[in-house]
Amino acid sequence: MIYLDAAATTPLRREVLERMWPYLGPDFGNPSSHHEVGESARRALDAARADVAKVLACKANEVTFTSGGTESDNAAIKGIALAMPRGRHLITSSIEHPAVLESVEFLGRLGFDVTILEVDGTGLVDPAALAAALRDDTTLVSIQYANNEVGTIQPIAELSALAGVNGVPFHTDAVQAAGWLGLDVGRLGVQAMSISGHKLGAPKGIGILYVARRTPLEPLLHGGGQESGRRSGTENVASAVGMAAALGLAGGDSTETVARRDRFIKRVLAEVPGALLTGHATHRLPGTASFVFPGTSGEAILLELEARGVVCSSGSACAAGSDEPSHVLTAMGFEGPVAQTAVRFTFGRDTPEADLDTAATELVAAVSRVLELGIQKS
């Protein structure tokens, strides 16, 4: 099997499991317990938090461990919006992850005014559009670092600077960007950031929420006051240790990955009739190549590819099984039927070029078979 769905999830790295193992067994303590068993767990949790803070170039007390990207997005958007005294106006983009869009929609039902910024055909937010949307009562701007379906990278530092001039906190969903792009929160100019572990070789069910120390945050979970009062509940020490280890191992030079990605894209566009690249041609994640194949069915192509030993997806795993066209692609100007022909290939630095070559060969055959059978979305 050739696995090209890393944007959905990645396997647990052996080095991460080895770091986690003691806290799944002998060092089982509750970090809130005031005895040696608990103190041992507390030391491990504190060390993990400090390691994450080094990667983000922030203070350790600005790092909160969560259950994943979805919780981090919800906690940042709802928490900051409900705590900020300056107003009740939110700004986001039309291609955000559902965790962001539905959080904003929820706040809209509570009386917040919401501005949704449109994107261009490559998925980019226009900084001028953000500047025009900012108001005196804007509470928060939330724009993703890189898109989970097409891989387009946003100019976060430029966008956050516009918000900063107006004194507006800026949150970015960095779930897909982590491991590929720089996460220095000072350079990015963000006051809040969401990261998910299982995109990086950590286990599922662990994430990170960075919130700048002076940014007000109303917690979503109340109870024991863990995580400096920002997220009550006994901490998942083993997974926090794994999260920190995975984040530390991620990254590195991606030049070769970009070269492999571009060769794969070039071949698909040359050999598959009618294939269209989605997302920005160059401002895209190194391990993401996404296409639409008008006149076909994305679902049928995926089934053909899986039968041929290639596993990938049509877009966000969170929207799998939906009959609705991708909101990302429709926002980028692709009509409904075309948006339902999407196929996304996502991979890591260690994905062999031979696997991408094989995937391209099988994709050509799969699309040809779907066209031969006349399967298409209408």
Q: Which amino acid is present at 16? A: V
Q: Which amino acid is present at 23? A: Y
Task: Answer yes or no: is pLDDT of 13 > 60.
Answer: yes
Q: What is the pTM of this model?
A: 0.96
> What is the percentage of the chain residues whose pLDDT exceeds 70?
98
Q: Which amino acid is present at 156? A: I
Predicted confidence (pLDDT) per residue in 197-227, tens digit = 999 999 999 999 999 999 999 999 999 999 9
> Which domains are present in the chain?
14-249 (3.40.640.10), 254-373 (3.90.1150.10)
Task: Answer yes or no: is pLDDT of 316 > 90.
Answer: no
The pair of three-digit structure tokens given for residue 34, joined into one six-digit string: 């005031």
- The whole-number average pLDDT for the span 317-333 is 80
Nearest-CA neighbor of 231 among 247, 208, 202? 208
The pLDDT-based confidence of 85 (bands split at 50, 70, 90) is confident
Task: Answer yes or no: is pLDDT of 177 > 80.
Answer: yes
* DSSP label of 192: E
Annotation marks residue 318 as catalytic: yes
pLDDT of residue 19: 98
Mean pLDDT, the chain, as a whole number?
96
Predicted confidence (pLDDT) per residue in 115-147, tens digit = 999 999 999 999 999 999 999 999 999 999 999
pLDDT of residue 324: 83
Nearest-CA neighbor of 344 among 263, 264, 270? 264
Per-residue DSSP letters for 144-156? -SB-TTT-BBP-H
Instruction: Report which secondary-structure segment, H or E, holds 104.
Output: helix 98-109
Nearest-CA neighbor of 174 among 69, 25, 257, 87? 69
Contact call for residues 197 and 203 (beta carbons, < 8 A): yes
Burial code of 28-58, b = ≥16 C-beta within 10 A, e = fewer? ebebeeeeeeeebbbebbeebbebbbebbeb
| Residue pointed to by tokens 């995975």 | 246
Q: Distance (Å, rounded) from C-alpha 211 to C-alpha 109?
A: 25
The pair of three-digit structure tokens given for residue 91, joined into one six-digit string: 């700004």
Q: Label residue 97 left, alpha or beta by phi (over 0 means left) and psi (-120 to 50 means alpha).
A: beta
The pair of three-digit structure tokens given for residue 66, joined into one six-digit string: 């969560």
- The whole-number average pLDDT for the span 359-364 is 98
Please tell me whether residue 309 adopts helix, strand or coil conformation: coil
Q: In Å, what is the CA distance from 308 to each residue of 300, 340, 360?
A: 12, 21, 11
Provide the β-strand partners of residue 125: 119
Q: In Å, what is the CA distance from 218 to each residue of 84, 97, 123, 221, 232?
A: 9, 22, 31, 9, 12
The pLDDT-based confidence of 354 (bands split at 50, 70, 90) is very high
Predicted confidence (pLDDT) per residue in 285-296, tens digit = 999 999 999 999
Task: Answer yes or no: is pLDDT of 59 > 60.
Answer: yes
CA atoms within a 13 Å half-sphere pointing along the CA-CB vector of 165: 10
The pLDDT-based confidence of 319 (bands split at 50, 70, 90) is low
Predicted confidence (pLDDT) per residue in 246-263, tens digit = 999 999 999 999 999 999
Instruction: Report which secondary-structure segment, H or E, holds 89.
Output: strand 89-93
Residue count of the chain, please give it. Answer: 378
In the chain, DSSP finds a helix count (H) and a strand count (E) of 13, 12
Given 110, 131, 318, 373, the catalytic residue: 318
The pair of three-digit structure tokens given for residue 26, joined into one six-digit string: 């002998």
- The whole-number average pLDDT for the span 27-50 is 97
The pLDDT-based confidence of 280 (bands split at 50, 70, 90) is very high
Q: Name every residue whose Cβ is closer than 8 Å to that of residue 199 and which is 6 or more positions away in sequence.
A: 6, 7, 9, 10, 69, 175, 176, 178, 179
